[in-house]
Structure 1
Amino acid sequence: MKKCISIVLLIATCITYSQKKTNGTIYVEHPAITTVEAMTQAFVSGDENKVASYLADDFKSYSGTTTNKDDKGMDKAAFLKTVKTWKDNIDYPSIKRSKGAYPDALEYKDADQKDLVWVQTWEDVKGVQKETGVKIDRPIHRLFTVDKNNKIKMMINYSTSTVNDEINQSYADRKNGEIYNHHENINTVRKMVHAFENKDFDKAYSFYDEKATFMDINSIDIHKEYTLAEQKENDKKMFEMFELVSMDQVGYPDYLHYELDDPRIVQSWWKIRVIRKSDNKNIVLPMMFIDTFNDKGKITSEIAYYSQKILEAK
């Protein structure tokens, strides 16, 4: 039995080792990497002639995320035109290695790869589109082949098109919903606020969905969301420290019903007058609420904007 087990283990070990096979060498430093990064910086600086000097005559650029099976890529002449486009349209441009990343140069053993070096990079593309003001800050992964003359023969880009889509859409005006200064959801916010003002807490909380979330910009974790039960406890602590005198509307609330994604939001501004119980100091606290509603007219989330420093001032 022991012999059988030993034979099985030996076979398994042999199979494991036989699954590994080298097919070339990976370099962290290589002339091809130098060429690729030099071309990239020439592109960023808008130096078309310098970019051209790094490209092979039969250079092609491809999108690695296209779904077009007949994509023939961009030739050298077309790619060089993008250098000027970049220079003319992007402020504060940069393409730099992503944090913790570095390029690899790969020399494969395959016969059809003997005159090529593959370079792969991970970088961050940054800038601001001049006309639309859209900020560009996105990662990009690129594959290059570099020929025996140290010229870039091919480039494949892998990146999201989200930023480009936003830039293209920003050239034209587009309506995205409607804004109201009178609406039932505005009425709900006012009723909720004045219920708090009159310490009718059951009524105040009745305007919220039972799964509503709350955010306070003064929280240590600005992304912290509180449940309705947790917010009730937060409010209780606040009322233990402060006597609420009044909550007075400033200007008028806005109700925004957006077309994209269909959110329903009320923005409202208030002066909240309180007395700090520890020293009887009268405090006027400016506050802004952003309340999001569902289609049933219930508040599903609320963000409170105010300065904690005002409440702490001596």
Structure 2
Amino acid sequence: MKKILLVFALMTTFITIAQKKNGTIYIEHPAIDVVNSFTQAFVKGDTVKLASLLTDDFKNYNGVSTNPSDKGTDKAKYVKNSYRWFDELDYFSISDFPGAYPDAVEYKEDNKDGEIWVQTWDLLKGVHKETGVKFTSPIHRLIVVTKDNKIKTIINYNNEGIFNELRQSFSDRTNGTIYNHHENINTVRKAVYAFENADLEKALSFYSDDAYFLNINDDLDKPETKDDVKKIRQEFLDAFEITSIDMIGYPDYLEYEMANGRVVMSWWDFHLVRKSDKKKITLPMHISDDFDEDGKIISEILYFNRAALEK
């Protein structure tokens, strides 16, 4: 028992010795007020105010840069570039990320100039005026504020992927081929017309065994399986007589370059008679079918107004 107590005492002493304070964290501080003023000026495009809050030797750094020789952006260039955000984005805003707030850190060691590090966790939002690209991105900033309440350094951490879409949106780019005749279109027609003739077995034979099904009237986070849909569609056939299903226009088969997508989009009028009261119903429907490389339907989503079946 004495040995156990001795070990515990030594561990407690070691833990106590291992801890060492190196400053103070503030939730309220003049440096935070400076950063808030800076952010407001940045969003408003107030370059005069912005420049007044920066030291002459100010530098901005990209926190996710892979360039070990990055010398940062100087004050003049940073102020000029900052205006582009205001000028090129509609609905531009920078706000605290939900649940977050800035901290001001005053380090004790290696801080002979009395500088404060302000850490922010923000949400940047806006819509690019020319391309319509939407920005909704968390950003993290480390900002050094001098004892004269001037910003000396900013290190930005943000998702640069949002700029990829922006850059690509300035020029036209094809993304595959659209067909109005294709074997996958034939497959959709055969599946729909098999259903028109109440041949569920044949209709569902065009789908892969692990296909999933969505309906715009239901929870899109809870897809149905092939077995589920077989029961649902049988219940539909029990409740309605299909007098005909007519194609509207023509289907499109889209074969995408990106992600190798294969989609048939088709439009239909379902002419029905409700068996319970003999009411005639015309139900417009849009069907979107995804295909695998073997020509099987792997997912399907139906767009129609369910209320039209219940009136």
Query: Normalising by structure 1, what TM-score?
Result: 0.95
- Indicate the residue corresponding to 1:139 in structure 2: 138
- Three-state SS of the structure 2 residue aligned to 1:174 is coil
Shift of 1:118: 0.5
- Indicate the residue corresponding to 1:5 in structure 2: 4
- Indicate the residue corresponding to 1:246 in structure 2: 244
Residue 295 of structure 2, aligned match among 287, 294, 297: 297
1:280-314 CA-partner distances (Å, limit 9, x unpaired): 2211111111100011000111011111111122x
How many pairs does the alignment contain? 311
1:47 touches 1:83 (CA, 8 Å); kept in 2?
Answer: no
- Structure 1 portions without partners, runs of 5+: none
Distance of 1:279 and 1:56 partners within structure 2: 80
Distance of 2:215 and 2:16 partners within structure 1: 57
Q: How does 1:182-193 map to 2 (within 5 A)?
A: 182-193=181-192
Give the residue type in structure 2 aligned to 1:217: I
Shift of 1:242: 2.2
Distance of 1:215 and 1:16 partners within structure 2: 57
Give the residue type in structure 2 aligned to 1:208: Y
Distance of 1:99 and 1:286 partners within structure 2: 42
- Indicate the residue corresponding to 2:63 in structure 1: 64
- Indicate the residue corresponding to 2:20 in structure 1: 21
1:94 touches 1:125 (CA, 8 Å); kept in 2?
Answer: yes
238-247 or 74-83: bigger deviation: 238-247
- Three-state SS of the structure 1 residue aligned to 2:31 is helix
Give the residue type in structure 2 aligned to 1:304: L
Identity value in percent: 52
RMSD of aligned residue pairs (Cα, Å): 1.3
- Three-state SS of the structure 1 residue aligned to 2:111 is helix
Q: How does 1:263-274 map to 2 (within 5 A)?
A: 263-274=261-272
Distance of 2:199 and 2:149 partners within structure 1: 77
Give the residue type in structure 1 aligned to 2:252: D
Q: How does 1:45-194 map to 2 (within 5 A)?
A: 45-112=44-111, 114-194=113-193
1:273 touches 1:284 (CA, 8 Å); kept in 2?
Answer: yes
Distance of 2:20 and 2:269 partners within structure 1: 72
Shift of 1:57: 0.8
1:121 touches 1:142 (CA, 8 Å); kept in 2?
Answer: yes
2:252 touches 2:265 (CA, 8 Å); kept in 1?
Answer: yes
Shift of 1:114: 4.9
Distance of 2:275 and 2:26 partners within structure 1: 69
1:46-73 CA-partner distances (Å, limit 9, x unpaired): 1100000111111111111111111111
1:118-157 CA-partner distances (Å, limit 9, x unpaired): 0111111111111111111111111101011111111111
Distance of 1:233 and 1:28 partners within structure 2: 59
Distance of 1:152 and 1:233 partners within structure 2: 66
Distance of 1:229 and 1:24 partners within structure 2: 63
- Indicate the residue corresponding to 2:307 in structure 1: 309
- Indicate the residue corresponding to 1:282 in structure 2: 280
Distance of 1:265 and 1:115 partners within structure 2: 62
272-281 or 31-40: bigger deviation: 272-281
Distance of 1:138 and 1:42 partners within structure 2: 19
Shift of 1:236: 2.4
- Three-state SS of the structure 2 residue aligned to 1:15 is helix
Give the residue type in structure 2 aligned to 1:134: V
1:200-244 CA-partner distances (Å, limit 9, x unpaired): 11111111111111111111x222212212222222232232222
Distance of 2:7 and 2:273 partners within structure 1: 82
- Three-state SS of the structure 2 residue aligned to 1:111 is coil
Query: Normalising by structure 2, what TM-score?
Result: 0.96
1:257-300 CA-partner distances (Å, limit 9, x unpaired): 01111100000001112222232221111111110001100011
Distance of 1:211 and 1:233 partners within structure 2: 16
Give the residue type in structure 1 aligned to 2:80: K
1:19-69 CA-partner distances (Å, limit 9, x unpaired): 332211111111111111111110110110000011111111111111111
- Structure 2 portions without partners, runs of 5+: none
Shift of 1:113: 5.8
1:59-111 CA-partner distances (Å, limit 9, x unpaired): 11111111111111111011011122123211121111111111000011112
2:26 touches 2:103 (CA, 8 Å); kept in 1?
Answer: yes
Shift of 1:3: 1.1
Distance of 1:6 and 1:84 partners within structure 2: 65
2:246 touches 2:268 (CA, 8 Å); kept in 1?
Answer: yes
- Three-state SS of the structure 1 residue aligned to 2:123 is strand
- Indicate the residue corresponding to 1:204 in structure 2: 203
